[in-house]
């Protein structure tokens, strides 16, 4: 069936279909421009005027802050916050922050001691020898106000019985 068409018939059909396609696109999407062209108007009306440039007087100057945030403000990393100068404080030696760090370190050392005692079937005397090393390594704990909490941790986790006098005299 396709062998019955000549090249000339094929090219005429393609030309007609192309003309129909482009005329429908022009009528659907460029109707206003076509009317303006047929009436003889130029394309310099307000709708077709070029956008103003930054050097023109009609354009407002962008604020430097607005340029930085064209995509939105960036998210700060976790744990980071912006504070004012009046909110800045420096820790002194008795600061709660420093004591909490010291207390957590001492508790970790005590956990290690308990693990050693469990693995090697240690006694109460072994515990007292190992706790002496902790007292030497963390001498700042002697003045801590958190010693009662540390003592409670020792009583709760010790595999042997400690008297209240032993626990009270543990750090002195």
- d(C-alpha 130, C-alpha 127), whole Å: 5
Q: pLDDT for 72-84, tens place per residue?
A: 777 888 888 888 8
Of all helices (H) and strands (E), which one includes residue 43? none
Q: Radius of gyration over alpha carbons of the chain, in Å?
A: 42
Q: What is the pTM of this model?
A: 0.42
Q: pLDDT for 20-42, tens place per residue?
A: 999 999 999 999 888 888 888 76
């Amino acid at each position: 069936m396709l062998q019955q068409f000549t090249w000339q018939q094929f090219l005429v059909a393609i030309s007609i279909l192309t003309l129909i396609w482009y005329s429908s696109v022009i009528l659907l999407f460029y109707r206003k421009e076509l009317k303006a062209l047929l009436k003889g108007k130029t394309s310099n009306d307000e709708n077709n005027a070029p956008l103003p440039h930054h050097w023109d007087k009609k354009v407002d100057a962008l604020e430097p802050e607005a340029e930085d945030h064209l995509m939105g403000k960036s998210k700060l990393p976790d744990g980071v916050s912006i504070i004012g100068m009046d909110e800045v404080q420096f820790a002194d030696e008795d600061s709660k922050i420093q004591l909490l760090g010291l207390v957590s370190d001492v508790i970790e050392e005590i956990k290690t001691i308990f693990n050693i005692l469990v693995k090697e079937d240690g006694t109460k005397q072994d515990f007292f020898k190992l706790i002496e090393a902790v007292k030497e390594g963390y001498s700042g704990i002697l003045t801590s106000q958190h010693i009662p909490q540390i003592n409670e941790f020792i009583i709760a986790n010790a595999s042997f019985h400690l008297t209240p006098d032993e626990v009270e005299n543990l750090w002195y």
